[in-house]
Each structure stands twice: as C-alpha cells, then as structure tokens.
Structure 1
C-alpha cells in the first residue's frame, strides 16, 4: 500500500476521508494489509433491491420484534420491496433500544448518552445511514485525557505516561519491562502482539460469524483475556492495574471483543452524532412513518410498503406450528389483554434473554435453545450530571476520560474542539459515572439520593475538587442501570471462553424453515456497537428477501 498522508479527523468526514483515516490508523497499528478485509466485512451488505423484486413481496406481512437499531434498519430495508411491516416494541415511550440519548432540556441542547455513543471510523454500515439521513458528526476522544485516581493517588495522564510511572506504578509489583513502558502500550505488547502474529486471512475471521473457525482463532477464543496476559507473562500486578485503567470486567471474558476493537483500530478515530445518538433512531422513525420517504426517492423507489408501530406491546408466544406462517400472541404492557396475528415472516431483534420468557411452539433447534439459555449479558450503569459550569474545562480537559478504581470507574468529558467556538458552555452535561459489571450493580442498587451523593464525592476525589464542591454545580442527574431496564437484561452480550465458537453461528441461524430470522448487536461480530445492530438488521432483511425466491410466501 502506498504511503498514507497524515490526515486529521474533521467534522462530517466524506467516505474518502474516512478511508484515509482508517488507512492511517491501520498503518500506525502495524497492519495496513487488513484495510480491504475490514472495509469489505463492515460495509453494508448487498442492497436488498438486488435480491428480490416488489411483485414477489408486495402485501406480504413481516413482524419485527424490537424497535432498536436492528429492528429499525430491518424495517427500513424491507419497506423498499413493498413488504407490509408491523414493529412490536415493549417500551411505550421510546424507540432505539440501547441507543438512548437523555435530554435535560426541551430544546435538546443539553444531553448525554446512556447507551451506545461512539462511531469508530471503520464502522461503515453506521456511516452509510449517517450519510443517508444527512446527520452531522464530530470527532470524539476515547483516550484518558484527564486524571487517573487509583489507591488514593491522583495524577494527570500525559502522552508519555510519566505521571503514572512515577506515582501509580510503585503501588504494584510490576516486571522491569512493564515499568519501562507507558501503560497505554501494555495491551500492544501483551495482546496486539498475538493478534498480529496471525495471518491476515485468519484475522479476518474476527469480523465473521462462522460455523468453523480456524484453529488459531478457536484457540484464542477459548481463553479469557486474563489467560492471554498470563500466557504472555504479564505480572499479576500489571493485570490488576490494567483492570483499573483499561480492561475493566473484560479480563474474565473471551478475547473476541478486545481483538475486534484492536483489529479495526476502533480507538484511533471515533465520532459522535451531533445532537445525540438518538437522532439516528429518530431519523429511521420519521422515515418509516412517511408515506413518501425522501431517502427512497434517491434510490428510484416510488412505492413502499406500509409500516405499523405497536409500542407498549410484548410478544409472549411465537407459534410456527402451521406451515408457511408464524403466529404471534402479544400482550399490551400493564394489562392481561392479548391479541393474535399471523405473519409470513418474523424478524426477532430482542436480547436472547428475553426469549426465555416467550413460549415457543415448537421449540427452536437445540443449538438455538442452548444459545438462548447460555448467552450472558454485561450490565452497565451510567449517570449523567447537568452542571452549572464545565469545571473540567477550567482544568484543561477537553474530551476523553478520567479513570479510577472507585465504583464510578470512568468519567467521560464532552469535547469542545476548536472549530466549535460558538458552543454555549455556561451549562454542560458530564457523564459522571460509566461502570460495568459488579460496580455497575453496586451503584445501580443504591437508593437514588444516596447514589447521587456517593457519585459526587467520587467524582470530586477523581478530579481533584474540594469536598462537596459539586453540591453547588450539579443541577440535575439521570442514572440508568441497563440490567434493570425493562426488556434489556444488560448493556451488551459478552462471551465466555469457547462460546463465540460454539454459540455465535447457532444464534444467527433462522428457525421454522426460514420464517423466523434473528438480528441485533448481540448476535453480530460487533456487540455493544451500533454497527452490530444495523448490519445484522440489514442482513436479516436480506434473508427475508431471499426467502421470497426460495419459498414464496403464502397468498
């Protein structure tokens, strides 16, 4: 590959600029040869209009269970062929699933993200819809640009890691190699090294769901991240410190998430949607409600299928006992009232945990039932503070994170880049606590007023503020524990060692002779990201279109 000119992330990048940024990130990461594999595997799948034609689909009924990004993208694509779509959503007041922007004001100028928020430059399917809906984006920063507070010691992180080396490292028993390296290079030594030893054609399997993975991938997917670190002779002290600074609860999961993040160089260049991630879900919603969506006119599509939203409705039974149709029994939330409807096809996008509460007649395949029973979900907690002033800006922090060994785990600062000088900074929203696993459960289970007090004190300790200084700064707050949110069961799916190999393919397979299809970030190669939801929704829609050719739906 030719030498790549240095480029800087700018707002609203074109596809060409995104390619340049990705090439640059891969080159700096030492594996530019992976560029086309990553682009091709994360691009949107084949356009649905190239698979089937409206005469075969018009008037056919498809149910989409769940109005997260997977369900919305599936409905958006299916409508191009004239399918009539009913979307069932448990939440009465909200769509978007795990994309959840919380707005503190009616003008939606003061907001924070309780769910998915960042778009890596490699996530081509997300960018496809961002471009289609003309959403505006700006760069954001995932690096630790604020303070590190660990074992009662606070230091400002610096590019060379000198503060951490001087004050934090002596608290841990580290090897000589670890002491000489900035902590942010540790994962390069202990995880990226193994990743880059694998052949490019084997590495691409990180972004694939396969029945049979190569031996190397199978071997690594059978290990926890902690075991890989131990194999590469990282000290127990180094592993413990990384669990504070970077890995969090991931050390006990398999390496698929961390490898995927490193493979696509997700942290090298990220963006956020201006106005909040929910703007993407809202764009889908408005398009689906429109009789003449402008996004379709660009594709030369004049006649589209109908879309019906059923919010505040839960699916309680999926019945595939009759040939060529699927019957759904649904219940209005808060009542015992049930309704029945028959569909030609059903796309299920809800978490697999939710299917444990759905009666299946007949039962799905044994492999699918195993996936439904065993797939785990990582819980997460986020707390937002509406602040009367951006105190972090006064301390020279513009975007990025602070990290701590306290239960809040991370503080995420809003970015105010130089090109946004007109941004009103008198009031601002801070992600005061972003935690995973048991720390998330601990914070989420505390009574709300006590939790607010605890988080304020921990933010003060981490940021070097005086005791109770935030009492006069924090105007409002909002907390969400994803495991307590109705219908979600956690923030994202996480695999135990070996599960990626044994469960991922079965989780994605259709049931009832192709009449029930599955989508969602949980069964994609990118769990926890918008990319996984959107791409899997498009793939499920394409599969439904294929079914019109293989098994024409009933009249």
Structure 2
C-alpha cells in the first residue's frame, strides 16, 4: 500500500479519494467473457452510456454457427474458392469445411496471415514485433470467439498509462489524469483562447464527443457500426465530416485542433479523413482495455491454418474428420481474373503460379473474395460487378501504415523509481515518428488505479526489449517509410533521444537490431487498411457486402466491415459470408 500511495502522490494529492474509491476492474490475464464484459461495462458507465452495452455486444457477436444454417454434410461435392489466406480467408474456409465443402484457398503472397505479421528477433521467439495488428479490444466478440476456441493465452496490452508523456513543440508533459502537466508545459506552446486555457486537454477533446456522440440516441449510436442500405439523418450528417470539421464544429480554435491532433493516437495522421470512423472506435471502446496474444498475434491465423490442415481437430466440435471437407492450399498463386461461367452455374477463376509462371483456369460453385480492394482493383472481372460495387472498389480509401521497431539491450524506459518508470503504453509526439509504444510484456495493472501499471514480479529493466519506435499512418508513414534505411534508423534514434531527454548516441549503445515495415509496399495489399474518407460509410458500407454474379461471389475482410483495420472486421465478415454460401447450398438441395 505504501508503494501505491507514493504513486498516487505523483499524480496529485487532490485526486487521492477519486482513485481509492473508484471501481476499476482489474485487467487480468486470459479474461473470461464475463470479465471482459465487466470491464467493458465499467468503461461505458464512466462515459455515462451503459445502455450501449447490449447493442455493442449484439452487433459485434459472431453470427450463428454455420451448422445451424446448413446441416453437416450438405456441402459435400460443393466446390468453393476462397481468395486470400489472411484471417478472413482462413476463417471462411474453416467455417465452410464444417458442412463438408471442398475448398481451394488462394494466396498471392508466400505466407498466410495477411495483415497479421509477427516478426521474431530471437530463435526462442521471446522477443517479437507485431508488424500488423497488435491489440484486441474487449468488445470484439468475433475475434475473442476464435481466441477462446483455440485456447490461446492473452495478456493486457497497455494503451493508456499515467506515466506516459507527450513531447510536442520541444516541450514534455506527463499524461496525468487531470491534464495539469499538459496545461503547464504544452499549453504555452500554442495560441489557445482564454477559455481553452482554463480547460484540461481531456475536457477540450470531450467537447467534440459531447456534441457528436452523446447527443445521439442509443439507436442512432448503434447505427455507427451497423451496415444498412440507408442511415438516419444524424449519421449521414456526421459521415460528411472530416475529423478537423468535427473539432471546428465543437468550437475549438485551430491552435487547439493542432495541439489535440498531436495528443490523440494517430489523430494528426488522419485528421482529414472520416470523423465517423473515429466515432465508431469510441463507441465500441476500442481504445479502452485491450489485449495481445502471448507469443505473437500470428498464433491466431496459424491456429486456423493448423485446423484446416488437421494438425488440430478438437476445434471442430461434434464433427468427425470424415464429415469435414477437403482443403487445397495454393500459396503463392495470384488470382488475376473472376469470370461468370457461360452456363451460369459457377465462377471461373484465372490464376497463376507466382514462382513458376503459367496461367490456369478453374471453375467453382461459389467464391468468397477477401482480397482488399486495393488488390481487387487490378483483377479482370466479367461480367462486370454492379456499378455501385465497382465504384466502391475504385473509391474506398486505403491508407499506408509504417512501423519501425528497435530491439535494444535493455529497457531504459523501465528504470527509475516506481512512480516515474514507464511500463507499457504509448508516448505521442509531433516529431515525424508520431507515436512510440513501449512493450506490455512486463506490465501488471495496479489495483484500483486507473491506467496505473507496474512491473510484473520477476521482470527486470535490464532485460532486452522491443520498442515500437515509430508508428504512423498516411503522409508520415510515406515520409519515414521512403527514407533510405540508414537515414530512417538514424532519424528515429534521434527522435527517441529527444523525446526522452537522452544524450546523443545513447540509443546506439543499446541497439541490437531493427525492422521497418511499410504496408503500402506489400504486394497484393498496397495499403495498411481501409480508413474511410467522408461519405464512404453512407455510399459504400452496404453495397460492398452484396454478392455478385447472381449470388455466386461473396465478399469478406476488414474493408467489408464497419470495424476497419481491426481483426474483428475480418473474422465477422468471413463468418457471415460463409453462412450466406451455406444458405445457397441448402436452398439448392431443398
């Protein structure tokens, strides 16, 4: 208790009662569904909208199991193509196999996993970097469905930490709950109005959500992540807005917008894009308590792959091996064309072997296409998809993302006394590296101290650590990603030293190795994720889900969902698409 009180003194004696009396659910390892829901409800209670809980869970739940849609064995002799072996493709294949479908899974890249890509720095896989998705929110039920199915272990991924800080306009401030450090050190660097200077930065940010989120009814808020042919007026109004327009609409000055853009995760990179996508993430508490998969996020797609290869069979509950369909993997085969068969009874795919060359054609009963639109854009389609779908493929916005990780000899950020050391979370800056994430593997929550973290028993700062030294999207991802490798690494080392007040070449003495990954350069992806621009929701969110070629071609992936850039979107749309194929198979046999 003595240790805890010292840390509370660090954030302010006047807030002592607030933190000793608040009911903060303890973020446990491997949370049960009930524990996740308790943490989510507490977050919603704090925001004054507990009534959203039921809607959030209902919409993000996985659909009914495919065996309730179509009996086992009905898919025998059905020939299905799944394009893409990311999480959406693997999930769709896994589900369709339950009813006996024979599946051919095409993947243009030489690896499975798609945007899940874990890089291991050591042979024992103890130290790793998540080049793609790195955290799982409490409310993402479809993702947790597969985590639990494959019995994967999870630990808290720290996003918010009262020990993290901001480094903006050469000024440094601690991310204390009252915003006092920011008001003292960051505010003087900006030409804020008199009224803005009197409010903590959290209260300034709250003005935006008070106007545009909390004024919506529960049913209107539900629409933020629903997929519908038509949305209510208030949702349409918000979908017309960029994030900057929303901040202006809340009465904030351009100076305040500039400051807050640097103090909200990735906000400065995306400020000209869709405001409603930001509301979607706030609505489902995506940046509240989050988790990572122990040993690397790649374990989830590998578990699905293992089940498809019969390395693990217990995932198919009450289904014998003889009842399962066959799976044929074509890894390294790119689909270049999608054609309706002349007889109208199937779909012909044109594909090629990326290593040996050669063009092949093969007919399937149904196709589930999980290719991102950035890749589908180059495919030959005949007959053409609908005008609306074709326009969505052209227009739906994709943004580049870049990550650079440093593997260091020790964890300089974890040294110091318990009240100042940084254990997990992120620091934000207006420097080109945008955001810095500290690893969460040593982090243990402090009971009843919101966003308070300390070292796990036995964890030592002298142990090597993986620092996400630069994470950004859009223009900054292009700028840093396009630098010569030596220049990029030197620049980022300098940014880390400036942010943390370290001497010149300090990082050089700690440096073991690094890795940079830029998603815009990944072949057959050419983008980090679908990040909506204004009007993308009202124009495209429904039409992208519709099947094509007389109900023979279905679509799945994060870009088809309303949880863009999250695993939830991939899994949920894949399960929905598989169920739709199952409905067609059942109808054909009825």
TM range (shorter): over 0.9
Q: Distance in 1 between matches of 2:263 and 2:443?
A: 25
Q: 2:112 aligns with which of 86, 91, 95?
A: 95
**Compared with structure 1, are the counterparts of its residues 307 and 364 closer, same or farther at alpha carbon in structure 2 (3 Å cutoff)?**
same
**Aligned equivalent of 1:535:** 572
| Residue 153 (str. 1) matches residue 190 (str. 2) | no
Q: Distance in 1 between matches of 2:185 and 2:581?
A: 58
Quick check: 1:101–1:113 contact (8 Å CA) kept in 2? yes
Quick check: 1:292–1:302 contact (8 Å CA) kept in 2? no
Q: 1:417 aligns with which of 412, 436, 443?
A: 443
Q: 1:306 aligns with which of 307, 313, 326?
A: 326
Deviation at 1:300, TM superposition (A): 7.1
Q: Distance in 2 between matches of 1:344 and 1:411?
A: 48
**Aligned equivalent of 2:35:** 17
Number of residue pairs matched by the alignment: 549
**Aligned equivalent of 1:121:** 138
1:437-465: CA deviation from partner (whole Å, max 9, x where unpaired): 11110111111111111111111111211
Quick check: 2:281–2:287 contact (8 Å CA) kept in 1? yes
| Residue 142 (str. 1) matches residue 126 (str. 2) | no
Q: 2:177 is paired with a residue of what secondary structure?
A: coil
**Compared with structure 1, are the counterparts of its residues 312 and 206 closer, same or farther at alpha carbon in structure 2 (3 Å cutoff)?**
same
**Compared with structure 1, are the counterparts of its residues 9 and 159 closer, same or farther at alpha carbon in structure 2 (3 Å cutoff)?**
same
| Residue 338 (str. 1) matches residue 376 (str. 2) | no
Deviation at 1:552, TM superposition (A): 5.0
Q: 1:404 aligns with which of 429, 438, 451?
A: 429
Q: Distance in 2 between matches of 1:354 and 1:13?
A: 37
**Aligned equivalent of 2:100:** 82
**Compared with structure 1, are the counterparts of its residues 177 and 282 closer, same or farther at alpha carbon in structure 2 (3 Å cutoff)?**
farther
Q: What aligned pairs does 1:169-208 form with structure 2 within 5 A after superposition?
A: 169-208=187-226
**Aligned equivalent of 1:361:** 382
**Aligned equivalent of 1:64:** 82
Q: 1:13 is paired with a residue of what secondary structure?
A: coil
| Residue 163 (str. 1) matches residue 181 (str. 2) | yes
Consecutive unaligned residues in structure 1, runs of 5 or more: none
Quick check: 2:27–2:289 contact (8 Å CA) kept in 1? yes
**Compared with structure 1, are the counterparts of its residues 301 and 184 closer, same or farther at alpha carbon in structure 2 (3 Å cutoff)?**
farther
Deviation at 1:337, TM superposition (A): 1.2
TM-score (norm. length: structure 1): 0.96
Q: Distance in 1 between matches of 2:490 and 2:33?
A: 45
**Aligned equivalent of 1:459:** 496
1:121-169: CA deviation from partner (whole Å, max 9, x where unpaired): 0111111111110011111221264231111222332222222111111
**Aligned equivalent of 1:390:** 411
Quick check: 1:321–1:361 contact (8 Å CA) kept in 2? no
| Residue 281 (str. 1) matches residue 301 (str. 2) | yes
**Aligned equivalent of 1:320:** 340
**Aligned equivalent of 1:107:** 124
Quick check: 2:29–2:156 contact (8 Å CA) kept in 1? yes
Greater shift in the superposed pair: 154-163 or 376-385: 154-163
Q: 1:228 aligns with which of 246, 254, 263?
A: 246
Aligned alpha-carbon RMSD (Å): 1.8
**Aligned equivalent of 2:290:** 270
Quick check: 1:74–1:538 contact (8 Å CA) kept in 2? yes
**Aligned equivalent of 2:271:** 251
TM-score (norm. length: structure 2): 0.90
Greater shift in the superposed pair: 253-262 or 147-156: 147-156
**Compared with structure 1, are the counterparts of its residues 420 and 191 closer, same or farther at alpha carbon in structure 2 (3 Å cutoff)?**
same
Q: Distance in 1 between matches of 2:589 and 2:388?
A: 27
Deviation at 1:5, TM superposition (A): 6.0
Deviation at 1:421, TM superposition (A): 2.5
Q: Distance in 2 between matches of 1:129 and 1:423?
A: 30
Q: Distance in 1 between matches of 2:78 and 2:312?
A: 20
Greater shift in the superposed pair: 506-515 or 295-304: 295-304
Q: Distance in 2 between matches of 1:350 and 1:493?
A: 12
Quick check: 1:72–1:284 contact (8 Å CA) kept in 2? yes
Consecutive unaligned residues in structure 2, runs of 5 or more: 1-21, 445-454
Q: 2:64 is paired with a residue of what secondary structure?
A: coil
Q: Distance in 2 between matches of 1:335 and 1:67?
A: 20
Deviation at 1:302, TM superposition (A): 6.0
**Aligned equivalent of 1:481:** 518
Q: 2:247 is paired with a residue of what secondary structure?
A: helix
